Amino acid sequence: MKIVCIGRNYVAHIEELKNEMPVEPVFFMKPDSALLKGNRPFTIPAWSSNLHYEIELVLRISKTGKHLSREEAGKLFGEIGLGIDFTARDIQHQLSSKGLPWEKAKAFDQSAVLGSAFLPLAAFSDLPGVPFRLDVNGKTVQQGHSGLMIFSFEEILVHVSRYVTFRRGDLVYTGTPAGVGPVLPGDHLEGWLGTDKLLDFYCNG
């Protein structure tokens, strides 16, 4: 099982971080050791002083696929979940300023939090507009829907499949909307996919 993550897929998030607009999907990978499931507590790594949450819609791949057409890409997944791509923003900035890869800031242990369930596509009346949000300590900090993505689910899968073979069980984190920010020890994070709360966990120091 591998974790594919998409960066810079919401205009407002690109603007808040002052990044360039991509002309094609930007993707990177996380190892399976990054996965944190079951709403277990997340431990903030001691080596980062600016650890950010990024809530994202997550696709679970249902079969093998390579060099996909758009039609084939639409049949590669049948469920949508919710996750958080934790990012050590301070480390990312340090590495990016030197032109270095930033896996250390993105691919560390527990950096890919996964919600408690996946919902079938039939559960969504408006698939291009799947809504989701993140609350921290009872306050909504991020909210969006899939219709705001620069690259759709199908476009993401088509592009990534040119370079990487998808296999059953792979996870695709599809990008985050605006509102990312730091977490502190004791913070309570809750995430909703539509009206279903799939994330409910605390951060430890």
Domain range list for the chain: 3-38+50-204
**Residue-level pLDDT at 17:** 74
User: 176: which 2 tokens?
Assistant: 């985050």
**Residue-level pLDDT at 13:** 81
**Residue-level pLDDT at 128:** 84
User: CA 189 to CA 202: how far, in whole Å?
Assistant: 6
**Residue-level pLDDT at 58:** 98
**Residue-level pLDDT at 25:** 97
**Residue-level pLDDT at 117:** 98
**Residue-level pLDDT at 15:** 83
- Pick 3-38+50-204's CATH classification: 3.90.850.10, 3.30.360.10, 1.20.140.10, 3.30.1490.20: 3.90.850.10
Tally Cβ neighbours within 10 Å of residue 32: 11
Beta carbons of 147 and 128 less than 8 angstroms apart? yes
Q: pTM of this prediction?
A: 0.96
Beta carbons of 127 and 146 less than 8 angstroms apart? yes
User: 93: which 2 tokens?
Assistant: 């900035």
**Residue-level pLDDT at 127:** 78
Strand ranges for 31-130 from DSSP E: 35-36, 42-43, 51-53, 55-61, 77-85, 87-88, 112-114, 119-120
User: CA 4 to CA 149: how far, in whole Å?
Assistant: 16
Tally Cβ neighbours within 10 Å of residue 142: 23
- Closest to 167 measured CA to CA, from 36, 2, 30, 6: 2
Strands 77-85 and 112-114: antiparallel
For the chain, state the CA radius of gyration.
16
The pLDDT profile of the chain, 205 residues, written as one tens digit per residue, is 999 999 999 887 878 777 788 899 999 999 999 999 999 999 999 999 999 999 999 999 999 999 999 999 999 999 999 999 999 999 999 999 999 999 999 999 999 999 999 999 999 887 789 999 999 999 999 999 999 999 999 999 999 999 999 999 999 999 999 999 999 999 999 999 999 999 999 999 8
